[in-house]
Chains A and B, each alone.
Chain A
Amino acid sequence: MKISRLRWAILAISFVVLMFGSYAGLRLGNALPTFSCCYVNTRGGTCFMLALQQTIGAFTLESMLVFMETLLLFSVLVIIIGKAWCGWVCPLGFIQDLLFTLRSRLGGGYVRFTESVKRKIAWIKWAFLTIALVIPVWVAFPLFCPGVALNLYIPFCQMCPGKYLLPLCAGNPDRISVNYEANTTVFMSVLGLTFSAVTFIGATVKRRFWCIFCPLGLIMSWFRRISFLKLKKEDVKCTRCEICYNVCPLDIEDVYKSRGKRDVTFADCNLCLKCVENCPEEGALKATFLGKPVYVSSQRKFFDKHISSCGGGCSSCGEGKKEEKHDDQQAG
């Protein structure tokens, strides 16, 4: 099975499990390093961002102690497969991939974020993270404007596109509305709806649009040095052909550019392994688990994938084969 198909399958299964798991009585806890949104009532488990903000928002010793356990579980989950949670599990990632594929079927172009563009927008995910960490402190100690503070409960979740898009995809369109309870809630839901719309449109013209802004992904990227799953490069085998860059959903340049680095799991990397799948050099790129190679690039894989991609409309394949046979007979 091609790894891209496997990834689609796992993404789809994860989507169903995380969005509708409660029907089967699944309770996967509240430390999941993936957007299993707390606003989806039928979810099978809950995103770590909720626990993080709730704990800071409560700011009591007990909640902190409980949170330690959640944090530990979260860390273990991230250490085991790293940001493969994003590339292989995340329901919002699945929706983005679906939207992008839809665009590709309809035959439109798309944009890439170059390194300089990415550098310019890198602050956004830090801003989201700061909001998620600082505003709950205000919620815990509403020393000024308490009315506003109390309505800012779990502030990041209120702005997150997952809050609007995921319930919609789980069959609950009610979330797509403005909350008129107070000025603050109006503001936050308008902000959230705007981000959702931008993400929805963005995902159709840019691969994995949201992932560049995701604060959860940012937290997870801190574990990349100690994570079991890594992307590695054999320097001498790399011809710097740029194919890994061209197929990368996050437009990561450094994988092909880096010299003298074995570990090329960069902060943005979602470990979707498209680069490994499309690398034409024998063993130049590989995914390793605890140092053991689990998926290695090869020229055979490359040519099998890229030549058979011609589909049904291409007559030259058939002709080529016939000619070969013909020549064989002549040679024989």
Chain B
Amino acid sequence: MINKQDNDAGQRKRERFLRAVAGQAANELDSLGDSGGGNISLEYFYGVLEQVYVSNELLTVWGPDMARKPVIGLYCIMAPEELIYAAGAIPVRLCAGCFDAAKTGEDYLPRDSCPLVKSSMGLTVNSGLKVFDMCDVVIIPTTCDSKRKLGEELSAFKEVWMLEVPHIKDTEHSRRTWLEQIWALKNRLEGFVTPDGRKCRRITTAALGSAIDDSLRAQREIRRLLDLRKADMPPISGRQATAVVNSYAYAPVAEWTSALACLNDSLEKQAVSGKPKPRIYMAGSPPVFPNLKIPELVEEMGGIVVSDESCAGDRYLYDPVGSAERNLDDQITALASRYMAPCVCPSFAPNQDRLYVMKRNLQDYAVEGVVYHVLKGCIIYDFEVARVEKMLKEMGIPMIRVETDYHPEDVEQLRTRVEAFIEMLKIKRKAGAKG
């Protein structure tokens, strides 16, 4: 009797939790939909996010095939998803942005860890959201402290494979270690069988080749989208673009790519008129759907996010795999290179490369101001603020540092600061035009 009551209470709690997660996601989708101008088709991407977080139906995104395949959850962007596709499994990326889940996660993780990690923990512990529940394994690269320890804590609830990422990138030793890790991951995937008998295939040159091709097509389209945003009047707002890229985390690559190709085609035709808005670059911690708080604030206050360096945004799919030959050795080497060498995650030290990437983006996208987003607890991005600020000063680009978490309570306070920043940029532009 008591057990039943407990179960009922647990059930109700779970439902309440899922409703809260769905509510936040639905709100965010609503406000994203509003912000669009013209008749560009973002339906597919919003649809993916809606199905994952609101209607909680992952199967409609992936099709009936999904039930026969192992599902592999990924954190960060260091685990090569080409390997997972080639092994006949399904990759989904789990870095989460749900506020309510972050609250739950706080019971399991230190208060000072970042909200992204707490949110992911919360969604794993409070079962119910299918994208988390369906994962047979999660792969966690040892990037920042939070992610590394998250791996350990998650292992009480899920099968966790840790992937050891070297923190000094450009030595022969780290390249060798990392290559070994990727080979080990390949072997581990090939031997993987779920308890109910779904298994991965052997990874062949042909399978890996076509998985790499699929990713390359996605990358070609994402670069097209990025190029479109270089225009004086970008045809798509920054948070919409972020949502488009975010949705990749849960969608099959081929379908997502053809939807993006359509989107790019229609964006190319679209003529945008009006007054150019101050062009903002989002630096720092990644905004992950449904936590698009900061890009949203920037754009509500009259700016436009033209580019970012987020691992869930413009940097997620930017770098391609280029293998010298079509054989397994070269493909794996190329994968290893792609997933470590160009990555400018601040968990690497030294991370001077990040400044180069940023500098190029600031020039290419004619950026006028930088919003440096620091998620509370994301200490590594905060460490690099001074370095970035120094470079920006030399380039004559103003910067504002915004520290926040997933909680909506500080929005109004941040709004005032962001508004002032954007007004300042407008004045600066006018002064520049006169001078």
Contacts and interface: CB of A to CB of B under 8 A. Distances in A.
Interface of A: 104, 107, 109-110, 114-116, 235-243, 245-247, 256-257, 259, 278, 280, 299, 302-303, 306-307, 309-311, 313-314, 316-317, 319-320, 323-324, 327-328, 331
B347 interface: no
B323 interface: yes
A102 to B, nearest CB: 13
Contacts of B342: 239-242
A324 B263 CA distance: 11
A323 B259 CA distance: 9
B261 A307 contact: no
B258 A310 contact: no
B337 A242 contact: yes
A240 B210 contact: no
A226 B235 CA distance: 47
Nearest to A235: B356
Nearest to A116: B172
A246 B322 contact: yes
Contact of A327 (B259, B324, B337, B338): B259
Given A247-B324, A314-B209, A323 B172 contact: no
B217 interface: yes
Given A314-B210, A323-B254, A328 B353 contact: no
Contacts of A235: 356
7 contacts: A116-B172, A235-B356, A241-B341, A242-B337, A245-B337, A306-B322, A324-B258
Contact of B213 (A115, A247, A317, A328): A317
A309 to B, nearest CB: 6
Contacts of A241: 319-320, 322, 337-338, 341-342
Of the candidates A236, A245, A314, A316, the one having the most CB atoms from chain B within 10 angstroms of its own CB is A236
Contacts of A316: 210, 213-214, 254
B363 interface: yes
Interface string B318-358: 11111111110110011001100110000000001100110
Nearest to A239: B342
B309 to A, nearest CB: 12
A240 B341 contact: yes
B220 A331 contact: no
A115 B172 contact: yes
B223 interface: yes
B93 to A, nearest CB: 21
A288 to B, nearest CB: 20
B327 A109 contact: yes
B353 A323 contact: no
